[in-house]
Structure 1
Amino acid sequence: VNCAVEIQRELAERNTELPYQRKMEFRIGVNVGDVIEEKDQIYGDGVNITARIEGLSDPGGICISGRVYDQVENKLNLTFDYLGEQEVKNIAKPVRVYRVLSHPGAAAYRVVEAKKALGKIWRNIAISVGVILILAAAIVLIWNIYWRSAMPEMETAAMQKPALELPDRPSVAVLPFDNMGGDKEQEYFSDGMTDDLITDLSKVSGLFVIARNSVFTYKGKAVKVQQVAQELGVRYVLEGSVRRAGNKVRINAQLIDATTGGHLWAERYDGYFGDVFALQDRITAEIVAALSVKLTSDEKEQVARK
């Protein structure tokens, strides 16, 4: 047993200086029994059992039979791990087998095995993370495909919602005018233009005009005219933009028939900031004319005064 331990110790020391592919690790089995030599061949229980328990040892490890253990148990400065009774080929009775624990070769093997186990754990973690990432990417891809395929159906379903019944007079929604000047501080100007047009058109009794709070929910949103008309229950939608450069003002306005998507009227107005109210009045008058709205005498006088 001491010889086996010394062999494993020497191999362990040499292996520390060798690359992995050149390292040698032996399995050693030790037994006490009959050995018969005949014509350069050896056989017998001692040989058979030794060969079998050698296969039970770890690379760089040592296993001994119960007979050997009984003789060295308290005589060597070693510790042993009982592996139980093992069935051995061509041997009638099971053989007690012990693993020698306290020797340098075993320690080196345990270090190597621990590194292998740690590497295996990290590989498994990497594989698991990779699988999770692949699954997450697949889920995102499937969701995007589903969402893109479902969007047209959802838009169609939204368009097929029962439309609000149109009023018995021309109905119009004035969407918030876009501020094309690029200066956020001029936002009040485009909003004020929208407010004034809503107010002026609301004074015409022959028109049905959607209130400010309802139309301003669409401010800053890219929405289709048909959607606005359906949601607000109107036939016509007025949209436009305002641009101010110094004292000059440009206003673009267009009146759209939501039932056809075509322009009923469109115009561009250039003027000075001091004339902006006059420009608003012109827009109001031309919208009323485009809608063929009959004005009352009071309304005609009011438009004429403007």
Structure 2
Amino acid sequence: MSETTHDGGVALGGSPSSGEGLTAAELAAKYGLSVSGARPPLMEYVRQLWGRRHFILAFSQAKLTAQYSQAKLGQLWQVATPLLNAAVYYFIFGVLLKASRGMSHATYIPFLVIGVFVFTFTQSSVMAGVRAISGNLGLVRALHFPRASLPISFALQQLQQLLFSMIVVFVVTIGFGSYPGLSWLLIVPALVLQFLFNTGLALFLARMGARTPDLAQLMPFVLRTWMYVSGVMFSISGILAGRPEWFIRLMQANPAAVYMDLIRFALIDDYGRSHLPPHVWALAVFWAVAVFAGGFVYFWKAEERYGRG
């Protein structure tokens, strides 16, 4: 039997040894029970994610394999798509609009190819993040696991895709006269920092997209605008020559521009320090740490709400 307690709670009936006189909440606390799907403490959540690291990697690899499984060229589209985009941008911006001002032909083509591939890494991570929860509701509702596994695995999928595509970037760069040197090693920390930044963005947008699925329809317009102001097709310092110095530095501090310029600086011999903003590595670390940490905490705070409603 059950009876109402003096504080309005419901006491569970039974013998004293079984918890007679305790409310349901008190009885659950006594025996270590918790609400299904409750959000764990932050450090416990991190520990759970680390325990799922093999699932995160396997899920990202499976998604990468399945991405182009219906296309005859298969995984070659990972390289062909950004290369075709680069060809279109070269015709429009390099030939028609002369956006290559201040750069030779041999510098501008690898500059453009690197910009397209590196920005595509961020763009694809964002789009995958928006749909990470809303596009996988069956998995979210069927299985118990840290939901951050999904946006992290999608960002990891895009990193693997970029690493595969970097072979083409290297070929183009070498083909236009920039040969491997010690500076090429700088792409490793640059890509690690960009991956952290992309993962943070994916986490931010995964929570937002879970609540507002229509965000996935808006993001292509936001990303296209971001691309045009990030210097994918032109050098920011070159195109803004004559503008106030503070405005040029502000545009160069854009995180997408920071990571593109670091990789261009590493790979292209004629792309010197004059094209980089002051303290560029400090900016890269700041964007990576701030966005990743902020995105992770923001996503974790809504952990118990994903897949419900």
Structure 2 length normalisation: TM-score?
A: 0.24
Structure 1 length normalisation: TM-score?
A: 0.24
Question: Greater helix share, 1 or 2?
Answer: 2
